[in-house]
Amino acid sequence: MSGAALKLGCIADDFTGATDLANNLVRAGMRVVQTIGVPTGPLDTEVDAVVVALKSRTIPAEQAVAQSLEALRWLQGQGAQQIYFKYCSTFDSTPAGNIGPVTEALMDALGSDFSIATPAFPDNKRTVFKGYLFAGDVLLSESGMQNHPLTPMTDPNLVRVLQSQTRRKVGLIDHSVVAQGADAIRSRIAALKADGVGIAIVDAVSNDDLLRMGSALADLPLVTAGSGVAIALPANFGLQPSNQAAALPAASGLQAVVSGSCSVATNAQVAHFIASGRPALAIEPLRMAAGDDVVREALDWARPHLASGPVLVYSTAEPDDVRSIQAQLGVEQAGALVEQTLAAIARGLVELGVRQLVVAGGETSGACVQALGIAQMRIGGQIDPGVPWCHAASAAAPEGLHIALKSGNFGSTDFFTKAFTAL
Ligand SMILES: Nc1ncnc2c1ncn2[C@@H]1O[C@H](COP(=O)(O)OP(=O)(O)OP(=O)(O)O)[C@@H](O)[C@H]1O
Ligand SMILES: O=C(O)[C@@H](O)C(=O)CO
């Protein structure tokens, strides 16, 4: 890497989560690049933070550990002064992990005897109080996350959840301490360490809580969190919010949205886009499975519409429809088939001249970014909490394109039209 050593080295367990973290760092004044997987060589640009995006949330724990340690070694090679492990603001994990095992392995590798864990992200209504995680107004276990197909979250008590995944003792820094500020948090950390605690869940119900936490975390080799804590760390490196950090090249080219997310928020966003009268095409998994050339049909459909503004191609469907498709094709097969099809459509759209692309869904984003041959993305301005515009060179657009990767449950209802006005 040219210039000064990296300040913050980040490891994210999925692609949209990585841009979410990068977005908060940029807003707090850091220049940030997100890499797709662990880079094979040094970065060729000077930035304050790098977020290495992995797809390690639900893979077997030992693979998640191995990939995270590989990312750590690369970040250390770039001189990273502090490491940040980013997971979901709904603490998505199974009893086997992967938050606990990855945290433990990173602590071991860094020789660290204490770290914190908090998925709090008040801007997106994720708060932690007395160690219990709330999504909106309800406990995590009543938020719909209890029914998640891969990582059902049935226990909102994060001390218990994390303790079930790690051999280190898990403790709590509760809100009464956080509210008193950094000195009180530092004293509590010292007391917890003396008590043999290795990882502490930290309460936060507001951005002020996160900002109070910031300076108390400056000396930790490893911070583990959702994206919320990121708003507080750049100040530890002497950085302040600035528009410069979010500067991207000027936008040009055609506009499109590709959506494979079936989350509640995305369903509302698709409905809103259709209601606004913009062109939208639903693609059908059963026709893909039957071997119909859905990709060519979608691109033929899109071609005449593109000149007059954004188009949407989507597989987004309501839960009953998704269950029916999964029953016929199998859960994994349906997912993979739809992801590959949407990724091929995204690539085709870029070949048709799309240079402003919104992708909805974490897995869908992973597939699209890979199909586009994107190795790294520069992070720009926020569209909505957790979702920034990014700029990336792509095999299909070597001069670069603007791309936004939207987590399933993020974004306002008009996100698919609003996004293009934010460039
Ligand atoms: N109509 C459909 N029927 C069955 N599976 C579908 C359908 N549409 C999309 N899928 C699959 O559902 C999965 C959606 O996951 P994805 O991570 O993209 O969205 P999400 O879970 O809403 O996003 P996030 O992980 O950011 O919260 C993908 O594997 C996708 O291929
Ligand atoms: O933290 C979140 O909620 C998101 O960044 C995410 O990880 C979604 O998959």
Q: What percentage of residues in the chain have a pLDDT greater than 90? A: 91
Q: Does residue 364 have its Cβ closer than 6 Å to ligand 1?
A: yes
At residue 331, the pLDDT reads: 87
Distance of CA 296 to the CA centre of its chain: 30
356 closest CA partner among 304, 422, 294, 407? 422
Helical ranges in 153-258 per DSSP H? 158-163, 175-178, 182-194, 207-214
Q: Which residues line ligand 2 (CB under 6 A)?
A: 14, 16-17, 20, 88-90, 226-227, 362, 386, 407
Q: Which atom of ligand 2 is nearest to the CA of 19?
A: 5
Q: What does the pLDDT look like over 343-363, one tens digit per residue?
A: 999 999 999 999 999 999 998
Q: What does the pLDDT look like over 191-237, one tens digit per residue?
A: 999 999 999 999 999 999 999 999 999 999 999 999 999 999 999 99
Q: What does the pLDDT look like over 139-161, one tens digit per residue?
A: 999 998 887 767 889 999 999 99
The H-or-E segment that residue 275 falls in is helix 264-275
* Spatial separation of the C-alpha atoms in residues 170 and 103, rounded to whole Å: 12
126 near 210, Cβ under 8 Å? Answer: no
Residue length, the chain? 423
At residue 270, the pLDDT reads: 98
At residue 30, the pLDDT reads: 95
At residue 276, the pLDDT reads: 97
At residue 149, the pLDDT reads: 66
- Token pair 């936004």 is at which residue? 404
At residue 332, the pLDDT reads: 87
pTM, to two decimals: 0.93
Q: Say if residue 82's pLDDT is above 90.
A: yes
Question: CA 46 → CA 39, 79, 405, distances in Å?
Answer: 15, 12, 23
Exposure class string for 62-82: b at 16+ Cβ within 10 A, else e: eebbebbbebbebbeeeebeb
Q: What does the pLDDT look like over 113-137, one tens digit per residue?
A: 999 999 999 999 999 999 999 999 9
Instruction: Tell me the pLDDT band of 4, cut-offs 50, 70 and 90.
Output: low
* Spatial separation of the C-alpha atoms in residues 338 and 70, rounded to whole Å: 30
Determine the residue of 88, 99, 364, 410 to mutate for testing ligand 2's pocket, defined as the one with the most ligand atoms within 8 A of the Cβ atom.
88
Least-confidence region, from 136-150, 156-170, 182-196, 255-269: 136-150
E strands, 218-270, in order? 222-225, 254-259
Higher pLDDT, 94 or 386: 386
- pLDDT average, residue stretch 375-389: 95
* Protein residue with least CA distance to atom 4, ligand 2: 17
What ipTM is given for this predicted complex? 0.98
Question: CA 359 → CA 31, 181, 197, 234, 244, distances in Å?
Answer: 23, 39, 41, 28, 25
Q: Does residue 362 have its Cβ closer than 6 Å to ligand 1?
A: yes
* Ligand with smallest separation from the Cα of 286: 1
CA of residue 364 to ligand 2 center, whole Å: 14
Report the chain's mean pLDDT, rounded to a whole number.
95
Q: Does residue 104 have its Cβ closer than 6 Å to ligand 1?
A: no
At residue 157, the pLDDT reads: 98
* Spatial separation of the C-alpha atoms in residues 341 and 289, rounded to whole Å: 10
CA of residue 14 to ligand 2 center, whole Å: 8
* Protein residue with least CA distance to atom 8, ligand 1: 315
91 near 13, Cβ under 8 Å? Answer: no
